[in-house]
Amino acid sequence: MVSKRPVIVVIGASNIDLVVKSSRFPRPGETVSGGGFFIGPGGKGANQAVAAARLGAKVYFVARIGKDIFGNKIISGLKKARVNIDYVVCDPKEPSGTALIVIDKNGENSIVFAPGANSKLSQADIEKAKSVIILADILVLQLETSLAATEYAANLAHKYHIPILLNPAPASGKLSTDFLNKVDVLTPNETEIQELTGIKVDNLASAKAAAEVILETGVKTVVLTMGKKGALLVTRDKTKLIPAKKVKALDTTGSGDAFSGALAFSLVKGKEISEAVRFACGVASLSVTRMGTQASMPTLDEVKIFRRNWVDRIF
């Protein structure tokens, strides 16, 4: 289903990121003197919603936030990115989600997430958004909110033949086959696919083997994100490593979310899966050259400038 301006519904977590830069990660019991500090909106669901909206999709976001100053900042960031917030519920009791993030000199990150109101996202919240879910071009899900609510959303979309993209993050062990066989595109990283399959991924052969185990659950397409190596696309008909553009990474936080949001956008624009993955790799590569999570999500024009010769052939 392709529309002139694709409609994407994202259900997931939103939070505020408290970020500090450091030369290295502290060891247990150690205090390390850090550098710059900043606060910005984050959360996998919100990040993916912003990523898709910045590229030009019409995005509806379904989530819960706290009735606090962080919640106000989350809403401000979503509005700035032109994400529809009609289905963002302000929880009267729980605080907004918060992520404590340390970024080392190589741009790698370490994150502790306190879910707050995100953990209260309910089936009733999903049902209230039914009218937009069943008319969406694609539904985008993650695992930072209630699994029961996420599975309920997947069941609803599947009933109405809406494609589902699941980013199985954070890693939380195995998921039911009943859930996975409703998923059209799964976008795990190496850690997440190991959690899902029990297969240690340390080379392309093991990555392909793990992806094939996922396909046996009924998932139609696995796109395994592999950081600076790119992404491994695995379907029943093909296996293809699509490289990422080499860049100097400043902050890798949110790069997987940039990838998933861009992949959803490209797919609902009607692009073939290999082209869509290649586009998503470019968006993710550009995002890591900037600090912040939602702040790093590029517009389509910025992506075109970043990889003009390549992107102009796609859009």
- Catalytic center residues: 257
Structure token pair of residue 80: 């700035």
User: What is the C-alpha separation between 209 and 182, in angstroms, rounded?
Assistant: 21
Which 8-state DSSP code applies to residue 189?
B
- For residue 170, say if its preceding peptide bond is cis, omega within 30 degrees of 0: yes
Furthest-apart CA pair in the chain: how many Å? 54
* Contact by Cβ (8 Å): 50, 77: yes
Cα distance between the two ends of the chain = 17
DSSP string, 240-280: EEEPPPP---S--TTHHHHHHHHHHHHHHTT--HHHHHHHH
For residue 210, with 0-12 CB atoms within 10 Å meaning exposed, 13-18 middle and 19 or more buried, which class applies?
Answer: buried
Residue holding tokens 């939380």?
A: 172
